[in-house]
Chain A
Amino acid sequence: MSPEIAEFLLLAPLGLAVGAYGTLVGAGGGSLLVPALLILLPNESPATITAMSLAVVFFNAYSGTIAYVRMGRVNYRIATLFTLASLPGAVVGVLLVHEVPRAIFEPVFGVLLLTVGLTLVVNPLGARRGQEPSGASGLSPKVLSLVGCVGSAYIAVLASLLGIGGGIIHVPFLIRGLRIPPHSATATSHFVLTFIALTGTICHVALGQFEGGVAQTMYLAVGVMMGAPLGAALSTRLHGSIIVRLLAIALCLVAVRLFLHVIW
C-alpha cells in the first residue's frame, strides 16, 4: 500500500467523525482536529496544523450548512447579521496571534472555557429547577440583536487567537445568551462558521502558513464533507440538552489542551 493511500485511509475516517460530531454540535470540529493532527502528523509545524484545521473546518461548515439549509433550519437574517459582525474580528485575531502573551492568555481562557463547559454539562439549556426552558429572554429583539452582534465580533477575535473556527464558543452564546433554541443555534452557527473559516484560511494562505499539508487537508475534507450531513441528520433525532452536553465536552477538551500547552 502506498503512503498516500495509507494516509487517506487514516485521515478520511477521522474527517468523517469530526464532520459528524462538529455539525451535530454546530462547531467546525477544529477543537478535536488540532490535537489529533498534532499527534498524527508530528512533522508538521503547529502553524501548518492550525491552517489545515481551519481549512477543514471550512469544508465541514460548508457541507453542514447546505444540509441545514435543506432541512430549513438556518435563520438567514440572524446568520447574516452575525457573519457580518464576526468577519473583521477573525482577521484581527489572526494578526494578534503572535502578539498576545500566551502564558497569560491560555490559562485564563482555559479556566473560562472549563467553567462554561462544566456549567453546560450540569444545566445545558439554562432552565431553572422544576421549570421548562423558556425561549424568551425578557430582552427586546433590538437589544438581543445588538448583544448578538457585539458578542459575535468578540468571539471571532478570541476564536482566531485560539486557532479555531469558534463554533464551540458561539453556540453556547446563542443558546444561553440569546435564548436561541439549540437546533437553530447549531445551524446558524454553522452558517457563520463557513465565512469565518474561509476568511481565516485566506489569511493563513496570505501569511504563508499553508505551504505543507495540502494533500492531508483534502483527505480530511473528503471525510468531513461526508460526515457533516450525517451529523445534521442525527441532530434532528436528539434532544437539545444532549446536543449542548456534547458541545460542552468539546469546550472542556479545548480547556484541557490550553492547560497542557502551558505546562509543556
Chain B
Amino acid sequence: MRLSILIPAAVVLPAVWGWCVHLLMQRIWPDSGAKGEGSDRRSPDDFPGTPVDYQI
C-alpha cells in the first residue's frame, strides 16, 4: 500500500512540482535578460576556457 503511493508520487510529483516552481518564478522573479544575474558578475576573461553567454 505504502509503495503503491510512494512510487507514483516519486515519478509524478517532481515533474508537477518543477513545473509549478517554474511558473511561480516566471511571475515573481522573471528573467531580466541580463547575462549572469545576481552575484554572478563574471566577465569572459575571469575563468579559462569557458563560455559565459548563458541565460535561463
Question: Which residues of A are interface residues toward B (Cβ below 8 A)?
Answer: 69, 72-81, 84-85, 88-89, 92-93, 95-96, 99-100, 125, 132-136, 141-142, 144-146, 148-154, 156-157, 178-184, 187, 236, 238-241
Indicate whether A95 sits within 8 Å of B6 (C-beta atoms), given known contacts A178-B56, A180-B54, A236-B46.
yes
- B42 lies within 8 A of A72 (CB): yes
Compute how far the CA of A92 lies from the CA of B24 in the bound complex, rounded to whole angstroms. 21
- A146 lies within 8 A of B14 (CB): no
B47 CB, min distance to chain A CBs, angstroms: 5
- A183 lies within 8 A of B6 (CB): no
Q: Which residues of B contact A135 (CB under 8 A)?
A: 51-54
Q: Which residues of A contact B25 (CB under 8 A)?
A: 77, 80-81, 84, 145, 149
- B17 lies within 8 A of A89 (CB): yes
- B19 lies within 8 A of A149 (CB): yes
Q: Which residues of B contact A74 (CB under 8 A)?
A: 38-40
Q: Which residues of B contact A142 (CB under 8 A)?
A: 26, 31
Interface SS of B by simple majority: loop
B13 CB, min distance to chain A CBs, angstroms: 7
A-B complex: 4 closest residue pairs judged by Cβ atoms = A76-B38, A135-B51, A153-B14, A150-B18
A140 CB, min distance to chain B CBs, angstroms: 9
The interface centre, meaning the residue of A125, A181, A184, A236 with most chain B CB atoms within 10 A of its CB, is: A181
- A152 lies within 8 A of B18 (CB): yes
Give the residue of A99, A152, A184 whose beta carbon is less than 8 angstroms from that of B3.
Answer: A99
- A77 lies within 8 A of B38 (CB): yes
Q: Which residues of B contact A95 (CB under 8 A)?
A: 6
Compute how far the CA of A66 lies from the CA of B19 in the bound complex, rounded to whole angstroms. 29
- B15 lies within 8 A of A153 (CB): yes
A181 CB, min distance to chain B CBs, angstroms: 4
Q: Which residues of B contact A134 (CB under 8 A)?
A: 51
Q: Which residues of A contact B9 (CB under 8 A)?
A: 92
The interface centre, meaning the residue of B31, B46, B56 with most chain A CB atoms within 10 A of its CB, is: B56
B16 CB, min distance to chain A CBs, angstroms: 9
- A157 lies within 8 A of B14 (CB): yes
Q: Which residues of B contact A156 (CB under 8 A)?
A: 14
Q: Which residues of B contact A180 (CB under 8 A)?
A: 54, 56
B19-36 CB mask vs A (1 if < 8 Å, else 0) is 101101110010100001
